[in-house]
């Protein structure tokens, strides 16, 4: 059985080109969000906001939890997804637990994110980790209604 580990995400400028391409393709396949490489590269993700990547033994990226600092108490998750063949086996929960430890160690306790209203799997996941729907974003995504979910870590 192959080994996978969540590790702190380097800033995008320190990822290899291959890793960045893998993340671009993962986000397109799993969330239908299509980023130009330059846009991905400029995301203000931070390890102090709990950002993680899931890697295999060869450092191929199989998942991301990317987060940014909003203010002294708050982080915002910009991307959270795992390769389809590795979903629903607990890796997302593992990432969330590591993310929460990292964020709290930085003195922050509030998290929010945007999710498509039809993404019931992710919404279920976020409810299980204690987030609640707090607002609707009718124009956030091209073809979907967005929901903001927020909670304390």
Ligand X SMILES: CC(C)(COP(=O)(O)OP(=O)(O)OC[C@H]1O[C@@H](n2cnc3c(N)ncnc32)[C@H](O)[C@@H]1OP(=O)(O)O)[C@@H](O)C(=O)NCCC(=O)NCCS
User: Among 75, 36, 47, which residue's Cα sits nearest to residue 64?
Assistant: 47
Among 13, 58, 124, 138, binds ligand X (CB under 6 A): 124
Does 119 bind ligand X (CB under 6 A)? Our answer is yes
Among 20, 21, 31, 106, binds ligand X (CB under 6 A): 31
User: Among 114, 125, 133, 111, which residue's Cα sits nearest to residue 50?
Assistant: 111
Does 30 bind ligand X (CB under 6 A)? Our answer is yes
Does 90 bind ligand X (CB under 6 A)? Our answer is yes
Pick the closer one to ligand X by CB: 61 or 82: 82
Pick the closer one to ligand X by CB: 18 or 121: 121
Does 91 bind ligand X (CB under 6 A)? Our answer is yes
Residue 128: how many CB atoms within 10 A of its CB?
11
Adjacent-strand bridge partners of 151: 111
- Cβ 107 to ligand X shortest distance, Å: 25
Does 97 bind ligand X (CB under 6 A)? Our answer is no
Helix/strand/coil for 145: coil
CA angle 97, 148, 153 (to 5 degrees): 25
Does 49 bind ligand X (CB under 6 A)? Our answer is no
Residue sitting closest to ligand X (CB): 92
Q: Which helix (H) or strand (E) holds 91?
A: helix 91-105
Residues 6, 128: Cα–Cα separation, whole Å: 20
Q: Which residues bind ligand X (CB under 6 A)?
A: 30-31, 80-82, 87-93, 113, 115, 119, 121-122, 124-125, 128
């Amino acid at each position: 059985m192959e080994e996978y580990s969540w590790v702190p995400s380097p800033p995008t400028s320190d990822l290899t080109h291959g890793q960045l391409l893998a993340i671009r393709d993962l986000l397109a396949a799993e969330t239908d969000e299509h980023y130009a490489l330059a846009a991905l590269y400029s995301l203000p993700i931070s390890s102090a906001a709990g950002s993680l990547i899931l890697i295999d033994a060869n450092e191929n990226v199989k998942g991301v939890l990317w987060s940014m600092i909003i203010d002294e108490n708050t982080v915002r998750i910009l991307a959270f997804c795992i390769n389809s063949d590795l979903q629903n086996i607990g890796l997302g929960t593992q990432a969330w637990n590591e993310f929460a430890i990292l964020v709290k160690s930085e003195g922050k306790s509030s998290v929010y994110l945007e999710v498509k209203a039809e993404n019931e799997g992710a919404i279920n996941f976020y409810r299980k980790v204690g987030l609640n729907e707090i607002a609707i974003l009718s124009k956030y995504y091209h073809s979907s209604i967005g929901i903001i979910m927020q909670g304390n870590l």
